Amino acid sequence: SSGINAEWPLRPGGYLRLQSNDPTQHPLIDPNYLDTEQDRWEMRQCIKLTREIFNQPAFDEFRGKELRPGLHCNADDELDQFVRQFGDSTYHPSCTCKMGTDSLSVVDPVSLNVHGVSNLKVVDASIMPSIVSGNLNGPVLMMAEKAVDVIRGRKMLKPAYNVPVYHPPTLQTQR
């Protein structure tokens, strides 16, 4: 069994807005997941790769017929419609108020304050400048630890140099 479930970065066009000034009302969220041709192309590639993987001989004894989107669904517009109808996110939203110093940034990377707003800090996955390829838990815990130091006025640790980083030999050739 396989499903269409992806982590997408919010590309231009998606938004997170307040519904009103009532803090008990949920925000308005529209990620516009399939707004760009890049989004649609990536999801079509996911379906094609999933089919390729499950059509390998190693799966012969386990594989039944394809239930969704079904073998009849091959054209780009058909695949796009399938993803619109059945795709969903992995519920790890991030990158909605980028931390940085450029014109698109919302949060100051040193103080964690929202630019132009006094005493409002943001410390969660929304301040990530770009989506991580793994689980958000570790990076969010790291940001929270940094926030504690910032709020308590602790100085940043000096950077460690010559720390080894593993680079798999297949990094450039992985599909």
- Give residue-wise pLDDT tens across range 78-123: 999 999 998 877 667 788 889 999 998 999 998 999 999 988 999 9
What's the average model confidence in pLDDT over 9-28? Answer: 80
pTM of the shown model: 0.55
pLDDT band at 4 (very low <50, low <70, confident <90, very high): low
| Residues 38-56 pLDDT 10s | 889 999 999 999 999 999 9
- pLDDT above 80 for 9: no
Closest CA to 92 of 40, 46, 31: 31
Catalytic residues: 92
- List 88's β-bridge partners, or say none: 5
pLDDT band at 10 (very low <50, low <70, confident <90, very high): very low
Cα dist from 14 to 3, 35, 59, 81, 108, whole Å? 23, 8, 38, 19, 22
